[in-house]
Amino acid sequence: MTSSVVEAGPAAGTVVASAEYRISRADLVRYAGASHDFNPLHWSPRIAAAAGLPGVIAHGTLLLGLVTRLLNGWLGDPGRLDELTFRFLRPVVVPDDDVSVAMRAQVAERHPDGRVAVTVVGSVEGTGTVGRGRAIVRPPD
């Protein structure tokens, strides 16, 4: 008789990581320098208003970096992140007094190969969900 051991892991519905990240206008300027993305929508209130935005907005890639930071904090090894998709639903406006972006990762389903599908949601108080995605990961032991 052959038996196999199925590794225990987080069950569907389990929140495996959550964090709140503060983003300031100074962060946007530093990120622009590091990424070479000097689009004035990220630093000029006048240009943002002319484009129909309610204010200066965070870089999408900065927000995506927060998603990977959240997941890697849980996983402990970036090599455990196999796939990631993320869709931005609305811009993150960064006022003079900063903004707080909440990120949450929750197990959606377990795969037979031991990997886990995780739903990641980003939200801002007063704005609601600003982005949603899905990651396929190899959870930590």
Over the Cα atoms of the chain, what is R_g?
18
What is the pLDDT, as a whole number, of residue 6?
A: 43
- The band of 9, judged by pLDDT with boundaries at 50, 70 and 90, is confident
- In the chain, % of residues over pLDDT 90: 91
What is the pLDDT, as a whole number, of residue 141?
A: 80
In the predicted model, what is the mean pLDDT of the chain? 93
What is the pLDDT, as a whole number, of residue 8?
A: 58
Tens digits of per-residue pLDDT, 63-115? 999 999 999 999 999 999 999 999 999 999 999 999 999 999 999 999 999 99
**Integer Cα distance of 3 and 25 in angstroms:** 57
**How buried is residue 64: exposed, middle or buried, by Cβ count under 10 Å (0-12/13-18/19+)?**
middle
**Integer Cα distance of 82 and 123 in angstroms:** 24
**Integer Cα distance of 64 and 84 in angstroms:** 10
